[in-house]
Homo-oligomer: A and B are copies of this chain.
Amino acid sequence: MSKNTRMTKQRKAILEVLKDTDVHPTADWIYEKVKEEIPNISLGTVYRNLNVLSEMGEIMILDYGSTYSRFDGVPNNHYHFQCTECEGVFDLDIPHKDSLNDKIENNTEFEVKDHRLEFYGICPNCQEQDSN
């Protein structure tokens, strides 16, 4: 229960670097930054702490779960649902809202070309399994 709760200087430094920036950095960027303060910190420690901090709810990891790419034979824009249990990806039958791009473009300085909307949860199949 009281696991992973030591606030080491490494963990603290990593958290501070992340809280002090809004660039959504990569692990390596964080590593370089923290090295200014703790020169002999190792990249492994950075990764370990990022995972711990995310479990603690202090930070968010912006990866997409699975490490491997998926391929789609339908090269149109459409939205997806991804099951967090079986990792399956399903097409959603709701229309692609191109107007969303315009909405952002009109309210920011960004030039918006595309967007991507993905839902996460449990697919019907895994719901059944769970109730066993």
Contacts from A to B (Cβ < 8 Å) = 15, 18-28, 30, 50, 54, 57-64, 68-75, 80-81, 83-84, 88-94, 100-101, 104-105, 107-124, 127
Contacts and interface: CB of A to CB of B under 8 A. Distances in A.
A25 to B, nearest CB: 6
Q: Is the interface of A mostly helix, strand, loop or mixed?
A: mixed
Give this chain's copy count: 2
B89 A75 contact: no
A100 B81 CA distance: 12
A18 B109 contact: no
A123 B100 CA distance: 17
A26 to B, nearest CB: 5
Given A59-B72, A59-B73, A75-B57, A114 B119 contact: yes
A110 B116 contact: no
A50 B71 contact: yes
Contacts of A57: 75
